[in-house]
Amino acid sequence: MYKIEIDEKAEKQLCELPQDIFEKVNEVILSLKYQSRPKGVKKLEGVQNGWRIEVRKKYRILYTIDDKNKVVTIFKVKHRKDVYRGV
């Protein structure tokens, strides 16, 4: 089982999501605890150990995986049109 960490920026982004999207994103984040690379996850280019997962086709969760320490760190949660800026 992996420990889930959410960085400060991502936490703020989560709070800004519409309620229905927040609930689904939260569900996906919690599931990463048991399966850090679920079906549909894609490797991020340019981010060491970086991954992204799609939520309801329009939102993305960007995160890193530290397999040695069993930690998943969420670093960005945004709409797909904005999520890759500054990555």
Give the CB-side neighbour count of residue 71, counting CA atoms within 13 A: 9
pLDDT band for 55, please (50, 70, 90 cuts): very high
At the fourth CATH level, the homologous superfamily of domain 3-79 is RelE-like (3.30.2310.20)
pLDDT tens per residue across span 21-50: 999 999 999 999 999 999 999 999 989 999
Q: What is the structure's pLDDT at 84?
A: 86
pLDDT in tens, 59-81: 999 999 999 999 999 999 999 99
pLDDT higher than 90, residue 87: no
Sign of the dihedral through C-alpha 78, 84, 86, 87: positive
Coil/strand/helix, residue 49: coil
Which residue type sits at 3?
K
Q: 3-class secondary structure for 57-77?
A: CCEEEEEEEECCCCEEEEEEE
d(CA 85, CA 63): 15
Q: Could you tell me which residue, 56 or 86, shows the higher pLDDT?
A: 56
pLDDT at 86: 76
Q: For the chain, what is the mean pLDDT?
A: 95
